[in-house]
Amino acid sequence: MILVGQYDSPYVRRVAISLKVSEFHYEHDTRSVFGDFDSMCSTNPLGRIPSLVLASGETLIDSGAILDWLDEQVGSERALLPHGGPQRRDALRRIALATGAVDKFGAANYERLIRPSQYRWPEWIERCLTQGNGALTALESLDWPTGGALDQAQITTGCMINYLKVTAPDDFPAQRFPALDALWQRLEQLPAFRATSFEGYAVPRAG
């Protein structure tokens, strides 16, 4: 199978880490969602990452759908998302907050880094940051494991925190989010996180 997308995307990274934790081997297609846009649209009509091209030739798009397929492959005992009940609802809530934070801080990043400065909309950036901080505050108030098996809520939240640390460190002051910072520090030491680490941000920046 081939995972399409670079690890600077927290959506790609959460899939990559989940594949590794579930002991799936994959080739990595590192085409850029910006630099290789036309080619990317032939893989996913939305021109977005991640996609997962299966050995059968079928292409799965959207990280949630890919992770759903992955959990189905390994069965409920090894699935990264609990299969039902309050545990599943709790995990889905954490994941919604983490992916929502990526979307909101990501939108603010695009506005601050990519849109030409004369077209920026400060009120919109402020709204996105308020929403992203709402998610971070909610996640910070929850109990997080300090060890044991990885699950999808931890993986997705770890990828979200790392995305903020790399792309917009001022948006994630560690002293304001100590529980999340401790979670991130622990997760980034794990083999699957280390194997997918990235230090740069591939999106071109406008002046």
| 100 contributes a contact to ligand GSH by CB under 6 A | no
Q: Which residues contact 6 (CB under 8 A, 6 or more apart)?
A: 12, 30, 32, 33, 49, 198, 202
| 81 contributes a contact to ligand GSH by CB under 6 A | no
CB 3 within 8 Å of CB 29: yes
Whole-angstrom CA distances from 37 to 42, 47, 110, 160, 201 are: 9, 6, 17, 24, 17
> Closer to ligand GSH at the Cβ: 47 or 134?
47
Q: CB of 30: closest distance to ligand GSH in angstroms?
A: 13
Structure tokens at 68: 């759903």
> Closer to ligand GSH at the Cβ: 21 or 95?
95
Q: Of these, 4, 21, 49, 95, which contacts ligand GSH (CB under 6 A)?
A: 49
| 154 contributes a contact to ligand GSH by CB under 6 A | no
Interface stretch with ligand GSH, choices 18-26, 46-54, 77-85, 128-136 (CB under 6 A): 46-54
> Closer to ligand GSH at the Cβ: 45 or 86?
45
> Closer to ligand GSH at the Cβ: 107 or 186?
107
| 63 contributes a contact to ligand GSH by CB under 6 A | yes
Whole-angstrom CA distances from 103 to 21, 32, 128, 163 are: 25, 19, 9, 11
Give the number of other Cβ atoms within 10 Å of residue 148's Cβ.
Answer: 7
Tell which positions 7-36 bind ligand GSH, by CB under 6 A: 9, 11, 33
| 177 contributes a contact to ligand GSH by CB under 6 A | no
CB 133 within 8 Å of CB 100: no
What Rg do the C-alpha atoms of the chain give, in angstroms? 17
| 104 contributes a contact to ligand GSH by CB under 6 A | no
| 156 contributes a contact to ligand GSH by CB under 6 A | no
Give 107-134 as a 3 state SS string.
HHHHHHHHCCHHHCCHHHHHHHHHHHHH
| 62 contributes a contact to ligand GSH by CB under 6 A | yes
The Cα 8–Cα 202 span in angstroms is 7
Q: CB of 146: closest distance to ligand GSH in angstroms?
A: 28
Report the interface residues with ligand GSH, using CB under 6 A: 9, 11, 33, 47-50, 62-64
